[in-house]
Amino acid sequence: MDLKSNIDLKKLPAHIAIIMDGNGRWAKKHGRPRVFGHKNGVTAVRETTEAAAELGIKYLTLYAFSTENWNRPAFEVNALMALLVETIRKEINTLNKNNIKLHAIGDLSRLPKRSYKALMKGIESTQHNTRMTLVLALNYSAKWEIMNAVKNLAQQAVDKKLVPEEINESDFENVLSTQGIPDPELLIRTSGETRLSNFLLWQVAYTELYFTPTFWPDFRKEHLFEAILDFQNRERRFGMTSDQLTT
Is the separation of the CB atoms in 40 and 217 below 8 Å?
Answer: yes
Instruction: Give the range of 20-28, 142-150, 153-161, 170-178 binding ligand IPE by CB under 6 A.
Output: 20-28
- Counting residues that bind ligand IPE (by CB under 6 A) gives 18
Is the separation of the CB atoms in 157 and 164 below 8 Å?
Answer: yes
Question: What's the closest the beta carbon of residue 18 comes to Mg ion, in angstroms?
Answer: 13
Q: Binder to ligand IPE among 13, 24, 122, 184 (CB under 6 A)?
A: 24
Instruction: Give the range of 14-22, 53-61, 104-112, 178-186 binding Mg ion by CB under 5 A.
Output: 14-22
Question: What's the closest the beta carbon of residue 19 comes to ligand IPE, in angstroms?
Answer: 5
Helix (H, G, I), strand (E, B) or coil at 161: coil
What residue is closest to ligand IPE based on CB?
Answer: 24
Instruction: Give the range of 15-23, 39-47, 139-147, 230-238 binding Mg ion by CB under 5 A.
Output: 15-23
Distant-in-sequence, close-in-space partners of 92: CB < 8 Å, separation ≥ 6 = 121, 122, 125, 126
Residues designated as active site:
21, 69
Question: What's the closest the beta carbon of residue 126 comes to ligand IPE, in angstroms?
Answer: 22
Q: Smaller CB distance to Mg ion: residue 21 or 183?
A: 21
Helix (H, G, I), strand (E, B) or coil at 130: coil
Q: Smaller CB distance to ligand IPE: residue 7 or 49?
A: 49
b/e per residue, 189-224, with b = 16+ CB within 10 A?
Answer: bbbeeeebebbbeebbeebbebbbebbbbbbebebb
Residue 21 touches Mg ion, criterion: CB under 5 A: yes
Binding mask 188-217 for ligand IPE (x = CB under 6 A): ---x-x-x-x------------------x-
Instruction: Give the range of 16-24, 83-91, 106-114, 159-167 binding ligand IPE by CB under 6 A.
Output: 16-24
- What 8-state DSSP symbol labels residue 240? S
Handedness of CA 226, 46, 202, 66 (dihedral sign): positive
Please tell me the total number of residues recorded for the chain in this structure. 247
Contacts with ligand IPE in 52-111 (CB under 6 A)?
Answer: 63-66, 69, 80
Q: Smaller CB distance to Mg ion: residue 182 or 192?
A: 192
Rounded to whole angstroms, how far apart are CA atoms 196 and 214?
A: 17
Is the separation of the CB atoms in 141 and 68 below 8 Å?
Answer: yes
b/e per residue, 143-154, with b = 16+ CB within 10 A?
Answer: ebbeeebeeebe
Q: Smaller CB distance to ligand IPE: residue 197 or 232?
A: 197
Catalog residues that contact ligand IPE under the rule CB under 6 A.
Answer: 19-25, 63-66, 69, 80, 191, 193, 195, 197, 216
- Interface residues with Mg ion (CB under 5 A)? 21
